[in-house]
A and B are shown apart, each in its own frame.
Chain A
Amino acid sequence: MPKRVLLANRGEIALRVQRTCRELGIETVAVYSEPDRNALHVRQADAAVAIGPGPATESYLVIDNIIEAAKRTGADAVHPGYGFLSENAAFAEACDANGITFIGPPASAMQAMGDKVAARRLMADAGVPIIPGANDVDPSDLSAAHAEADRIGFPLMVKAAGGGGGRGIRVVETPDGLDGAMQLSSSEAAAAFGNATVFLERYVSPARHIEVQVMADAHGNARAFGERECSVQRRHQKLLEEAPSVAVDPELRARLCDAATAAALSCGYRNAGTVEFLLDDRTGEFFFLEMNARLQVEHPITELVYGVDLVALQLAVADGEELEPGPAGPPEPNGWSIECRINAEDPHANFAPSFGLVEHVDMPQGPGVRFDSMLYAGLDVPVFYDSLLGKLIVWAEDRPAAIARMRRALQDLVVAGIDTNSAFHLALLDNPDFVAGNVDTGWLERDFTMPPPADDGRDVTALIAAALAAEMGGRADGAAPAAGPSAADLWARVARADAMNTRVQHTGERGWRSGIGS
């Protein structure tokens, strides 16, 4: 086991990895950008190193700064988390070159999975089902392209071989549209990736996004930990995940897991990875989509239904330990787990991002509830990073109980000062399609409408609360002073608050504890 692990990340995932490290007696080193100085992942680490200003390109993405921080603090291993440098082959190589263990796959496996056409060939050779299509279509030979397209069938997708991030991808409904789409994707790909090669794939829709957690060691063993259902997405962003999937029975699970381990072994994969598949409910067919060479955001739901600490396994495998073989037969999940991503955004204003000072937090607790979160009262959510505040995860005996438990946990979560998408999750859990499990990757954007806030009388509660606050701190006319309260005002307020046996805190527009706080 490593002695000291540097977490090359921030937010909830840095905290998540730190927790397992501390349980195993491993010291932790945090890195942080200037606006993250006060973040929990910095507070809870044994050591912390500043790596630059707010923008990630000047801090969390600067390989040299992170390697330097690891050397300076004597860290013998680096955990990349997800996002940032987690799938950056140059970073993995830089760790190796400096004698630091990279807790993740080898650079060669990342590169093998990065080239889409190469990955398709690798998977086909390994017997992993790939989406029917045609590799390496010459964009200038349109008659050959039409012959391939007729074989694949419409609708189909034109994709750039070197592509990524949704660029160079077009859906073609009929043969008439093929020529134009080929030209556009090809020129876009040439400009963006320096490679005009395109390939064709059947457009599998509607489909579910089903992914399989795998873990591979340095001794040629790979193990799959069942599937996660991640079909609830908006603009390709997952919002709610569950394990297992309503669409997967033991027979299908066995086939998915076999395909996932074959995929991992085909590219010399090591450590934790996720193999993503598209599942066509109507035919029961599934197809390889891509492999994510990192620990996923939604890994905790797998941990809860398979009783495993994936971070502990990552550390062991990175240290050269051999994976214990799983039980014979397909993995059997125990109970049901759901994760809701709690994002700083306003679901009633088209999910506009929210940031600023978190003034108060009530944490959900109780049986079967896990909240992996960066939240605390006093956190100033910076504008530079993604909007994920935390992941609310529940476990229960079955899906209906897990849904009821998640609803309860969401109702317990209170965040004052910034907006969160809790109301969205509550509406989702009440949606009949979701409750029935009838979702595909397009369902949320196609069929779900965010309902307006319920007329449940809480506006009256808010009015009374505001009036009580005004009683305790307002001026004679009840108007709020534009400037912060004076010291004399404060003492008067404390006296009045004591007289009323309650306390109200007054914050300035963005001030922290500018009012009474005892």
Chain B
Amino acid sequence: MAKRHRFVVGEDERSVEVDQTPDGVTVTLDEGDAVDIDVLEVQVPGTVSFFVGGRQQRAYVARRAGGYEVTIGERRFVVETASGGRRRGAVGGAEDVPGQITAPLAGVVVEIRVSVGDDLEAGTTVLVLEAMKMQNEVQIPHDGTITAIHAEAGQNVDKGVLLVEYDTDSEE
């Protein structure tokens, strides 16, 4: 059964539809023409190897919060799952029920960027959590209006602690 994957690379939103059938795998990029690919068995964990139009492609894929990091030759690509977090961002609320944002990891709240009453678009950063010297932007996963903030700058928080509540703007 075909499945469409939506990604963001840089500023561009892209989609890849993957159709697995007993005869093989077909991919369709950005709703263009379907291309048969030959996915090879690779014993190196994390390595994806496939032929497209007879040309061998080889990539190393690692899962990251909010998407994937793909290494091909000397280049690294950050492939975000659409509506996911930005690079080095943590998707606040990926596991949350709509209306709540919890800490995606333990850390220190270094900055709160929103106030109660703010009307936000999905993907807006609400606060910044620092862990292991890395700043992680926590974003609102849906459009919404902030109704309560349960953290302050400088505060240590454990993973899963409720940080922000919001009203979703509409039925999505």
Footprint of B on A, CB under 8 Å? 359-360, 383, 410-411, 413-417, 419-420, 422-423, 426, 453, 458-471, 473-474, 478-483, 500-510, 513, 515-518
A480 to B4 CA separation, bound complex (whole angstroms)? 14
Smallest CB–CB gap between B67 and chain A, Å? 6
Cβ contact within 8 Å between A517 and B45: yes
Which of B18, B25, B49, B76 is packed against the most chain A CB atoms within 10 Å? B76
Cβ-neighbour of B61 out of A410, A426, A469, A516 (below 8 A): A469
Smallest CB–CB gap between A314 and chain B, Å? 34
Which of B6, B42, B43, B57 is packed against the most chain A CB atoms within 10 Å? B57
Cβ contact within 8 Å between A482 and B14: no
Interface string of B40-57 (1 = CB under 8 A from A): 111111111110100001
Cβ contact within 8 Å between B77 and A479: no
Q: Given A463-B29, A467-B18, do A515 and B81 touch, yes or no (CB 8 Å)?
A: no
Q: Given A417-B62, A464-B50, A515-B63, do A505 and B45 touch, yes or no (CB 8 Å)?
A: yes
A459 to B7 CA separation, bound complex (whole angstroms)? 12
A419 to B71 CA separation, bound complex (whole angstroms)? 10
Cβ contact within 8 Å between A468 and B75: no
How many B residues, CB 8 Å from partner? 59
Smallest CB–CB gap between B125 and chain A, Å? 16
Q: List 18 A-B contacts (CB under 8 A).
A: A360-B47, A411-B73, A414-B60, A417-B71, A423-B74, A462-B77, A464-B57, A465-B59, A466-B67, A466-B68, A466-B79, A467-B27, A468-B25, A470-B81, A473-B63, A500-B25, A509-B65, A518-B45
* Interface flag for B94 (CB, 8 Å): yes
Q: Which residue of A lies closest to B102 (CB)?
A: A482
Cβ contact within 8 Å between B46 and A504: yes
B60 contact set on A, CB distance < 8 A: 359-360, 414, 416
B68 contact set on A, CB distance < 8 A: 465-466, 469-470, 480
Cβ contact within 8 Å between B104 and A482: yes
Cβ-neighbour of A463 out of B49, B79, B104 (below 8 A): B79
Cβ contact within 8 Å between A411 and B74: yes
Smallest CB–CB gap between B123 and chain A, Å? 13
Q: Given A459-B9, A466-B67, A504-B61, do A483 and B95 touch, yes or no (CB 8 Å)?
A: yes
A240 to B2 CA separation, bound complex (whole angstroms)? 49
Q: Which residue of B lies closest to A424 (CB)?
A: B74
Cβ contact within 8 Å between A465 and B48: yes
Cβ-neighbour of A467 out of B16, B46, B75, B91 (below 8 A): B16
A359 contact set on B, CB distance < 8 A: 46, 60, 62
Cβ contact within 8 Å between B62 and A416: yes
Cβ contact within 8 Å between B40 and A462: no
* Interface flag for B3 (CB, 8 Å): yes
A419 contact set on B, CB distance < 8 A: 76
Cβ-neighbour of B48 out of A415, A460, A483, A502 (below 8 A): A502
Smallest CB–CB gap between B75 and chain A, Å? 6
A413 contact set on B, CB distance < 8 A: 74
Cβ contact within 8 Å between A468 and B95: no
* Interface flag for B155 (CB, 8 Å): no
Cβ contact within 8 Å between A468 and B90: no
* Interface flag for B162 (CB, 8 Å): no
B7 contact set on A, CB distance < 8 A: 463, 466-467
B105 contact set on A, CB distance < 8 A: 509
Which of A359, A482, A503 is packed against the most chain B CB atoms within 10 Å? A482
Cβ contact within 8 Å between A502 and B46: no
* Interface flag for B99 (CB, 8 Å): no
Cβ contact within 8 Å between A513 and B45: yes
Q: Given A464-B37, A465-B70, A478-B3, do A507 and B46 touch, yes or no (CB 8 Å)?
A: yes
Q: Could you tell me the dominant secondary structure of chain A's interface residues?
A: loop
Cβ contact within 8 Å between A463 and B48: no
A518 contact set on B, CB distance < 8 A: 45
A500 contact set on B, CB distance < 8 A: 20, 25, 39
* Interface flag for B144 (CB, 8 Å): no
B63 contact set on A, CB distance < 8 A: 469, 473, 480, 506-508, 515
A416 to B90 CA separation, bound complex (whole angstroms)? 20
B133 contact set on A, CB distance < 8 A: 383
B57 contact set on A, CB distance < 8 A: 461, 464-465
Q: Which residue of A lies closest to B57 (CB)?
A: A461
Cβ contact within 8 Å between A502 and B41: yes
Cβ contact within 8 Å between B61 and A465: yes
A282 to B62 CA separation, bound complex (whole angstroms)? 52
Cβ-neighbour of B64 out of A410, A463, A480, A504 (below 8 A): A480
Cβ contact within 8 Å between B20 and A471: yes
Known interface pairs A468-B18, A469-B48, A478-B81; 6 further A-B residue pairs with C-beta atoms within 8 A, sorted by A's residue number: A416-B62, A458-B77, A468-B25, A500-B20, A502-B50, A503-B46
Cβ-neighbour of B71 out of A414, A474, A479 (below 8 A): A414
Q: Which residue of A lies closest to B90 (CB)?
A: A482
A459 to B73 CA separation, bound complex (whole angstroms)? 12
B25 contact set on A, CB distance < 8 A: 468, 500
* Interface flag for B72 (CB, 8 Å): yes
Cβ contact within 8 Å between B84 and A468: no
Cβ contact within 8 Å between A501 and B94: no
B41 contact set on A, CB distance < 8 A: 501-503
Which of A414, A464, A480 is packed against the most chain B CB atoms within 10 Å? A464
A459 contact set on B, CB distance < 8 A: 9, 77
Q: Which residue of A lies closest to B71 (CB)?
A: A416
Cβ-neighbour of A503 out of B45, B52, B94 (below 8 A): B45
Q: Which residue of A lies closest to B45 (CB)?
A: A505
A483 contact set on B, CB distance < 8 A: 95
Smallest CB–CB gap between B163 and chain A, Å? 14
A504 to B32 CA separation, bound complex (whole angstroms)? 26
Q: Which residue of A lies closest to B92 (CB)?
A: A482
Cβ contact within 8 Å between A502 and B49: yes
A516 contact set on B, CB distance < 8 A: 45
* Interface flag for B132 (CB, 8 Å): yes
Q: Which residue of B lies closest to A478 (CB)?
A: B5
A478 to B2 CA separation, bound complex (whole angstroms)? 12
Cβ contact within 8 Å between A414 and B73: yes
Give residues 4-42 of B contacting A (CB, 8 Å).
Answer: 4-7, 9, 14, 16, 18, 20, 25, 27, 29, 37, 39-42
